[in-house]
A and B are shown apart, each in its own frame.
Chain A
Amino acid sequence: MKRRDFIQLAGLGTGAFMMPAFAMGRNVSPEAFLEKSVDAAVNKRLADAALNAAKSKGASYADVRIGRYLNQFVVTREDKVQNIVNTESYGVGVRVIANGCWGFAAVVDVNNEAQMAKAAEDAVAIAKANAKLMKEPVQLAPQKGFGEVSWKAPIKKNAFEVPIKEKVDLLLSVNDAAMKNGANYVNSVLFLVNEQKYFASTDGSYIDQDVHRIWPIFNVTAIDPKSGKFETRNALSAPMGMGYDYLQANPSDKITGVTTRYNKGYDMLEDATAAAKQAKEKLTAKSVEAGKYDLILDPSHLWLTIHESVGHPLELDRVLGYEANFAGTSFATLDKWQSKNFQYGSKQVNLIADKLQEGSLGAVGWDDEGVNTKKWDLVKEGVLVNYQAIRDQAHIIGEKESHGCCYADSWSSVQFQRMPNVSLAAGKTPLSVDDMIKDVKKGIYIIGDGSFSIDQQRYNFQFGGQLFYEIKDGKIAGMLKDVAYQSNTQEFWNSCVQVCDEKDYRLGGSFFDGKGQPSQSSAVSHGSSTARFNGVNVINTARKI
């Protein structure tokens, strides 16, 4: 699913213009989710049929992904349930190397070995047709087989097993709280994902994985009828690699302050109550005066800046030009990395790639080409030290093995390099947000993610937010609106002067990171503690039409 389709489905956009009838995939009844997934022995038999057929047709390598992808959406507005959607997608993707070239074929409605063999043969035929355009054959980093293994997301409560009624009741109570506290409208959505993935390759791996994700969101609108102006405030939740347990917040999961923010447990009702009041407050908030400010960025905001200005430019396929026709290339070129002294950020900046982080969206046991996942440095004390690479790229940066960050969003999509969780390490010196604010003379404290845009080489960016507070002489002086900041990636990260300690560390993330052609979505988390950036250019976004 693409970001825009999701926004339309969830009623978070303002209209459903040109919505394709089948944008949302397949729907199934709730009880289907509790049916046992396909047996691993059956998967192995089907996979072997494809692997053997590929080899007999001349493939030097083949992998098979048998996938069952389940989504559930509960969509509400005010006192109504608009939609309860269950989608299921089941099928197989076969990828091969033949004559040195990749080929891929996907099939739906699979139940026997002959179909698997046919898909493998189709993939080999495509590889051979394209090999004539190829000058350099694919080089795969060696990967040992793991035999028959499995991995399950460490969820405490499977959200798909929670009765629909419980979910509906939660969202309607959230909406009720928002309306009682001054909202004119409220939309809320609970979005659940379960990926049941079986991977097999000619390297001798048979990997069974069960991935879970959850994302509770809402959007509150407050309107001033006199002026016709409206303001919104979105949820401060994060999409997580967790079960329904994310919706049970303990006091230790809450970060209090100018507004409450959340760590590994989210209190949706409390946040909606605050959101309604804050949306109203925004209507009369001071419009920002454009200029240079010191920015204090909360993790609920900073994740998106990390995602766009660090996660994407350090994808090796972009650096090399594989995404030149769509997502773009990167300013972080190989010569900068080779110099060993490219100052990506200040000394305070340590950026880490991590596919193991518990509760994150990117955590799995093995990636979608059978590589065990790991954690590695991207930027160390401000210096660029590495990229994100998969099997057919590892040799380019002199690595002997893949980083394990290959992913496909469906059995029907071909897997390719995708962003692992990329996070800013917490500061090593004890520092709270309050202490950080105390030292700021003229600043803005930004909470929550808003509008975002960055150029195709990841230099120039502009970000908005949900809540903006003016800081004057070390104190919060009130709410601002119409705020967006513009900067350049290297300049911005070099203006980072402080990062709060690990007590403030939280994850944010994206369910719909888009890349590739045809475009694929990937879910990824970004952690950080609150951080301070000095002298950033802030613009005023108010206009009249």
Chain B
Amino acid sequence: MSIILTESEAKALLQKVLAYSKADECEINLLGEERGNLRYARNEVSTSGSLINQNLSVQSSFGKKVGVATIDEFSEESLEKVVRRSEELAQLAPENPEYVSILEPQTYLKSSGFFESTAGINADKRADAVAKSLELSRAKNLTAAGFLDNQKGYSAMMNSKGLFAYYPSTSVNFSLTVRTPDGTGSGYIARGYSDVNKLDTAAATTIAIQKAMGSMNAKALEPGKYTVILEPTAAAVLLENIYFNFDARSADEGRSFLSKPGGKTKLGEKIVDERVNIYSDPTHPDLPASPWAGDGQPLDKITWIEKGVVKNMIYSRYWAQKNNVKAVPSPSNVIMDGGTATMEELIKSTKQGILVTKLWYIREVDPQTLLLTGLTRDGTFYIENGVIKHPVKNFRFNESPVIMLNNLETLGKSERVVSTESDRNYMVPPMKIREFTFSSLSDAV
């Protein structure tokens, strides 16, 4: 049998495992995946490989005593063993007062994240796609380092209350850094898709080459507050720190940027510019994602920030029950709506500013304000009177994405990007921000 089970094969396997259960409640998660990658640097292939993986995880509970065991062998004997092990562990475990009973069957949105085109990628196709990129950088006497990674897989789950869920998906990520031979110029591009037919490695390479050549011999500007235009790749790594901190319990406990004095939270309050709208939708055509969470909760379309106002926070099932509100699971994708401006228009309308194409090494400095630090990288440019004048040396910034979204000038059109920090894919628009804080200069190229 293939590692990638069809829906009916997955259902049959899960039913077989569930038949061994003697616990009060039992929940089983199953996954299988095949991955392939090609990595290159100095215009040469460096490392590359393939991987297959399968896994079965069984959670058994007796009252509020819970145990989990998993296995990657699927023989009859192994399937029974993993169920017995989880039951033994549950009997040994202390009671977990926060355990919430498993879910009844649910209804899920339809999301199509599996593409035959991507599932069919093999070593030769990877090499061909990379060859198209390498040809371009070699022809210009530039040095390329890149990574192409494709994945096909599925996840499925079943529990003793009859819940069943199945989701197949594919993905391909391509990233590339092009450097000039004298080491003074560097350009970057990253593309992520569910359908490999959308990936054009040559077109992506052309952009990275332009940035590399355009960023040569950068001039130093004084650190300080500047109007910046953040390309989506740069904006994503700041925004995701807002997404990572949307947990209601932390806010209620007073240890989140969403907390307020006196045990209150900012739910229902305007925290950023009114043009900011952030939501999740597993059926988004450009960013399809699983319509169910790992515990079987449906992932429906949900708004996090609407017109700058916090509309929802994440509530675990336990915290929701305790507070008598509806549980809100962690989403499988995040989308920020954009405006209508093109990159050209964003630049043209800027009297004085800095175009930031990528940010690097983002770390939280203060959880209270979400103050982040990090640096610009691989192409930073000075804009004057609506045109790019010259490349500038990289800056370190200290800025909060919350302050940044309050200083919003203009939004461009949202597009799918890969976070260079977390590898997650998002829909993010380019954005113009005033008074962005750069605190020092870096000699790095």
Residues of A bordering B, CB below 8 Å: 4, 13-22, 26-32, 80-82, 84-91, 101-109, 122-123, 125-126, 129-136, 164, 168, 184-185, 221, 223, 225-230, 232, 320-326, 328-329, 331, 412, 414, 416, 451-460, 462, 464, 482, 484, 486, 488, 517-519, 537, 539, 541-545
Contacts and interface: CB of A to CB of B under 8 A. Distances in A.
A227 B143 CA distance: 53
A22 B68 CA distance: 13
B444 A90 contact: no
Given A15-B247, A230-B254, A545-B403, A459 B442 contact: yes
Interface stretch (B18-26, B110-118, B348-356, B365-373): B365-373
Given A29-B85, A539-B439, A228 B261 contact: yes
A109 B93 contact: no
Interface in B215-261: 243-247, 249-250, 253-257, 259-261
B387 interface: no
Q: Which of B365, B422, B445 has most chain A Cβ within 10 Å?
A: B365
A134 B45 contact: yes
B286 interface: no
Contact of B330 (A17, A325, A462): A17
Contacts of A108: 52-54, 72
Nearest to A136: B44
B255 A185 contact: yes
Contacts of B408: none
B334 interface: yes
Interface residues of B, number: 117
A452 B155 CA distance: 36
Q: Which of A27, A80, A87, A537 has most chain B Cβ within 10 Å?
A: A27
A290 B423 CA distance: 35
B172 interface: no
Interface in B241-294: 243-247, 249-250, 253-257, 259-263, 271, 293-294
B76 interface: no
A28 B69 contact: yes
B424 A104 contact: no
B61 interface: no
A322 B255 contact: no
Contact of A517 (B72, B149, B245): B149
A45 B444 CA distance: 50
A305 to B, nearest CB: 14
Nearest to A15: B247
B366 A543 contact: yes
Interface stretch (B127-135, B192-200, B428-436): B127-135
A85 B314 CA distance: 23
B241 to A, nearest CB: 10
B67 A29 contact: yes
B440 A486 contact: yes
A84 B259 contact: no
Contact of B51 (A229, A320, A412): A412
B41 A322 contact: yes
26 contacts: A15-B246, A15-B314, A18-B330, A21-B31, A21-B155, A26-B71, A27-B70, A29-B67, A80-B96, A102-B47, A103-B48, A228-B262, A230-B255, A321-B41, A321-B145, A324-B145, A325-B176, A328-B360, A331-B444, A416-B47, A451-B364, A454-B361, A517-B39, A541-B371, A543-B371, A545-B257
Given A15-B314, A184-B254, A453-B361, A133 B49 contact: no
Nearest to B369: A543
Contact of A16 (B88, B247, B364, B368): B247
B42 A321 contact: yes
A27 B246 contact: no
Nearest to B31: A22
B54 A109 contact: yes
Contacts of B370: 545
B363 A17 contact: no
B201 interface: no
A320 B46 CA distance: 12
Contacts of B261: 225-228
Nearest to A22: B31
Given A130-B45, A455-B394, 15 more contacts: A14-B244, A21-B155, A31-B85, A81-B96, A103-B48, A125-B123, A132-B131, A134-B44, A184-B254, A321-B41, A451-B364, A486-B440, A517-B175, A518-B37, A543-B366
Nearest to A30: B89
Q: Which of B177, B188, B374 has most chain A Cβ within 10 Å?
A: B177
Contacts of A29: 67, 69, 85-86, 88-89
A456 B444 contact: yes
Interface string B411-445: 00000000000111000000000000001111111
B81 to A, nearest CB: 10
A84 B88 CA distance: 13
A133 B363 CA distance: 37
A214 B330 CA distance: 30
B92 interface: yes
Contact of A451 (B70, B145, B365): B365
B94 interface: yes
A455 B361 contact: yes
B410 interface: no
Given A16-B330, A80-B96, A22 B29 contact: yes
A109 B69 CA distance: 16
A451 B363 contact: yes
A462 B143 contact: no
A223 B71 CA distance: 42
A225 B252 CA distance: 12
A223 B361 CA distance: 29
Contacts of A226: 261-262
A28 B82 CA distance: 8
A276 to B, nearest CB: 15
A29 to B, nearest CB: 4
A462 B54 contact: no
B93 A17 contact: no
A15 B98 contact: no
Contacts of B88: 29, 31
A480 to B, nearest CB: 14
Given A133-B130, A227-B261, A451-B364, A106 B49 contact: yes
A428 to B, nearest CB: 32
B377 A455 contact: yes
Contact of A18 (B48, B94, B364, B424): B424
A230 B261 CA distance: 10
A313 B72 CA distance: 39
B57 interface: yes
